[in-house]
């Protein structure tokens, strides 16, 4: 509101029943400016005309003007809220119907495809919370960050406290990943079991021998998941896991003594005996070349060999390969 309108409003408050000419003479503004101010004040409900024969005006309290201005909007808002509430109640009645139908479809489906990675994660969380007997997990690939591990550790510990057994298979190379190692130490102390294998072709999570979640893996970029509920298929996955578990080595096993090899070292020796380079061996085992060479150096030391050829001969004589 400009200064003329403010001046006219002040005048109107102190001089009820005034006319345009009176305001012009009292305030020193032109009648055109006074009439413009009157229109603006009237639009804001701050001014009313009290006589039509010889137009005169009176000021209106700002509180009364505000009520005049917002009452229609408030009534419209209340009406809108009532309509929204009615629609919400109407649709809320369909939520149980949808949930029940969705559960029936998912239960009846032997294999459910989840294209969205977010859905896959939600399903994993849901089944982990509902697990009552045992969770089996095969996890190839690199370890998670320390922040992710911290959240996962708490969930695993809570699960174990509820009496749910927890078995996890990692790739052998993950032993060198400190965030994962610290997480394994904590969960192992709570009753979890961890083993490693040098070859892990499939990522999988099996809940209570009833549901398995695995990646679809049509191509390297495929992030869809398969939720498998068929009892026969689940039985096969559990048997495969149990077989791999028996071949695995404890994650927290001590460093092998001379004359003893872990699974990854045996794999390295066999690959070297076949004439493969460090780079090829490391790539096949999913470990870094530096880690591969560290294992080789340790085996040379344990065998007392001065060359890889000599190490191969001694390893064969010792029955290592």
pLDDT beneath 50, residues of the chain: 255-258
- What's the whole-model pTM score? 0.51
The pLDDT value given to residue 105:
56
The pLDDT value given to residue 71:
73
The pLDDT value given to residue 82:
81
The pLDDT value given to residue 268:
81
The pLDDT value given to residue 68:
75
The C-alpha atoms of residue 289 and residue 309 are separated, in whole angstroms, by 19
The pLDDT value given to residue 101:
66
Mean pLDDT of the residues in the chain: 82
Residues 6+ apart with CB under 8 A from 233: 110, 111, 212
- Whose CA is closest to 170, among 262, 295, 271? 262
pLDDT in tens, 45-90: 888 888 767 788 888 888 877 777 777 777 777 778 888 888 877 7
Domains of the chain: 3-60 (1.10.10.10), 112-250 (3.30.870.10), 263-317 (1.10.10.10)
> What burial class does residue 208 get, using C-beta atoms within 10 Å of its C-beta: 0-12 exposed, 13-18 middle, 19+ buried?
middle
pLDDT in tens, 162-171: 999 999 999 8
The pLDDT value given to residue 92:
77
- Whose CA is closest to 244, among 139, 133, 149? 139
Share of the chain above pLDDT 90, in %: 17
Taking CB atoms within 8 Å and a gap of at least 24, the contacts of 271-275 are 272/296, 272/308, 272/311, 272/312, 273/312, 273/315, 273/316, 273/321
């Amino acid at each position: 509101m400009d200064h003329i309108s403010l001046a006219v409003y002040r005048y109107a408050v102190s001089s009820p029943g005034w006319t345009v000419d009176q305001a012009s003479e009292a305030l020193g503004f032109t009648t055109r400016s006074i009439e413009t101010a009157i229109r603006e004040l009237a639009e804001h409900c701050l001014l009313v005309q009290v006589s039509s024969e010889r137009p005169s005006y009176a000021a209106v309290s700002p509180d009364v003007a505000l009520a005049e201005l917002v009452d229609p909007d408030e009534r419209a808002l209340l009406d809108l809220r009532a309509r929204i509430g009615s629609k919400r109640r109407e649709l809320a009645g369909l939520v149980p119907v949808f949930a029940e139908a969705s559960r029936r479809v998912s239960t009846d489906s032997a294999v459910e495809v989840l294209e969205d990675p977010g859905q896959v994660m939600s399903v994993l969380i849901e089944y982990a919370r509902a697990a009552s007997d045992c969770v089996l997990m095969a996890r190839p690939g690199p370890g998670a960050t320390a922040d992710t591990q911290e959240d996962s550790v708490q969930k695993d510990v809570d699960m174990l406290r509820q009496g749910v057994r927890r078995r996890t298979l990692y790739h052998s190379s993950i032993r060198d990943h400190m965030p994962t190692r610290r997480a394994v130490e904590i969960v192992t102390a709570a009753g979890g079991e961890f083993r490693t294998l040098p070859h892990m072709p499939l990522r999988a999570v099996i809940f209570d021998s009833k549901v398995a979640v695995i990646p679809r893996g049509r191509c390297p970029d495929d992030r869809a998941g398969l939720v498998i509920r068929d009892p026969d298929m689940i039985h096969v996955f559990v048997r495969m896991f149990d077989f791999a578990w028996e071949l695995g080595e404890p994650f927290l096993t001590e460093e092998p003594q001379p004359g003893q090899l872990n699974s990854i070292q045996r794999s390295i020796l066999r690959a070297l005996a076949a004439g493969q380079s460090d780079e090829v061996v490391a790539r096949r085992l999913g470990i870094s070349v530096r880690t591969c060479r560290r294992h080789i150096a340790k085996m040379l030391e344990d065998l007392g060999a001065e060359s890889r050829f000599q190490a191969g001969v001694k390893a064969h004589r010792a029955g290592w390969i």
